[in-house]
Amino acid sequence: MAISQLFSLNHPKCSFQLGNPLISKHNSNKKASKNSFQLFPDKPFKSIKCSTTSLSSSTSLTPQIEEETTLSLEDERPLSQIWKEIQGFNNWDGLLDPINPHLRREIIRYGEFAQACYDSFDFDPHSKYCGSCKYQGAHFFEKLGMADRGYQISRYLYATSDINLPNFFQKSKLSSVWSTHANWMGYVAVCTDEEEIKRLGRRDIVIAWRGTVTYLEWIYDLKDILHPAKFNKDPSIKLELGFYDLYTKKENNCKYCSFSAREQVLAEIKRLMEYYDGEELSITITGHSLGAALAIITAYDIAELELNLVDEGEMSNKIPITVYSFAGPRVGNLKFKERCGELGVKVLRVVNVHDKVPTVPGILANEKLDQFQRYLEETVSFPWSYAHVGVELVLDHTHSPFLKATNDFSCAHNLEAHLHLLDGYHGKGRRFCLANKRDIALVNKDSNFLKSEYGVPPYWRQDENKGMVRNSDGRWVLPERPRVETHPHDISHHLEKILHKFDHSGSSQFKEA
């Protein structure tokens, strides 16, 4: 397929009940080859045409895309053959500059899973459903125009808002609300379409965490306080306190937060691992902004608990864990970074060089200090030392001819802008050129970043009539939403399995949480 074409699949629709076992368990994808692919086989690339966008006289919101003769490279190998490399098996060595077209498409695809958290979230303080997801799990991807992705929601994730990040959570101004303590934080989804499984080369489990679109004051609430992760016996591995609380705290008086976000996601991963036992699997975690911090913590937690370790007779196999992080802050100290590396957690961090969020916390001591940071942590016990995890892919929004110069901090941080920049990125020093013809109108979905000559209104995505409908009496009302399931009935069962495994080693991961 040419790189200038959009990738799309037509998948049959499947009904799915949130929190219930998946409808069908396909085993046709059993044990694909686990051998790493040949990194440089004979003639794996071909030259193709790239594309750019020019002004059009069309009255459509979306400018026309015109072909140019700029050459790019397409990787002719199928993704199913090289998926482990694309997921970071070799830390993306040789795949970023120039960027491998498979990798570009996969980063964008997972970024769109993260964007779905925003597009489905109720930010309206005048709605009693503020802070919840607008759609039931069975219709989630269909409502977002993503039914062709081949994934189904496995469960929703919630966190208590009663923690020390007051400017992150959304709450209704009304007295009668869906929950006084909870915010919807994301979802777990599973690839269930056989054609997509074949294309990917494995069955993929996705965890997507919500961040925040434009309300960025939460970043100033970070106190630079490090807290022991307590996911293993080493107290020197530490996380930023606000992130730790968001992940581990629960509220017994709230049916959505009676289990912490941590307990919810770990129990679901345990369930899915058992359900798809014997299949080739991957665990991919994605998030933007604060959601990116949660994504890295989740990946570390799963690996530390060895939930991705599968026994195969006398051998053990590790299911790959990959994080695609967008515009994320630093999460933990240098010990945390090093432990993630030891566990084999692969993290690709996509950042805009003009975005301030990835520069915090850890302004005084961070990974740029190298050996000096190690001295600060080990000898001086410096309490404000943070380090980014993984490999960084740096973008620059000034390289896009479609974006205007702005001092709006939220534009540089915007996820759709990051995905636009990825589509035009080919490597350091290479010209910006849209590879997949991704619609530039998406940039202004929840921002005002496109140049005005493209005729795309800012902040254009919204529900029709803001969700109001006319009832049988002819009155306009906000309709009641179907009740969303809180937690599957077997969540305690799977948590007990995790606890039982680690109680023998004296670990107490879930006792504080």
| H-state helical runs in 241-358 | 241-248, 261-275, 290-304, 334-343
In the annotation, is 492 catalytic?
Answer: no
Helices 290-304, 261-275: crossing angle, 10 deg rounding: 50
Of 484, 498, 481, which is closest to residue 256 (Cα–Cα)?
484
In the annotation, is 289 catalytic?
Answer: yes
> What string of DSSP letters covers 149-200?
G-EEEEEEEEEES-SS-TTT----SSSS-S-SSEEEEEEEEEE--HHHHHHH
Structure tokens at 368: 């740029």
Catalytic residue (choose from 355, 423, 439, 446): 355
Structure tokens at 511: 């006792």
Structure tokens at 453: 């000559």
Q: What is the dihedral angle through the alpha carbons of 386, 217, 452, 400, rounded to the nearest 10 degrees?
A: 0
Region of 59 on the Ramachandran plot (φ > 0 left; ψ -120 to 50 alpha; else beta): alpha
Q: Which amino acid is at 437?
A: K
In the annotation, is 11 catalytic?
Answer: no
Q: Is 50 exposed, middle or buried (0-12, 13-18, 19+ CB in 10 A)?
A: buried
Task: Tell how strand 226-228 and strand 203-209 pair up.
Answer: unpaired
Structure tokens at 12: 């049959």
Helices 241-248, 290-304: crossing angle, 10 deg rounding: 70
Q: Which amino acid is at 410?
A: S
Q: What does the buried/exposed string (b/e) look like for 405-421 if buried means 16 or more CB atoms within 10 Å of the residue's CB?
A: eeeeebbbbbbbbbbbb
Report the alpha-carbon distance of residue 321 to residue 309 in Å, rounded: 11
Contacting residues for 223 by C-beta, under 8 A, at least 6 apart: 164, 241, 242
Catalytic residue (choose from 102, 388, 397, 413): 413
Report the alpha-carbon distance of residue 496 to residue 505 in Å, rounded: 15
* Other Cβ atoms closer than 10 A to 300: 28
Say whether 121 sits in a helix, a strand or coil: strand
Catalytic residue (choose from 51, 289, 325, 410): 289
Cite the active site residues.
289, 355, 413
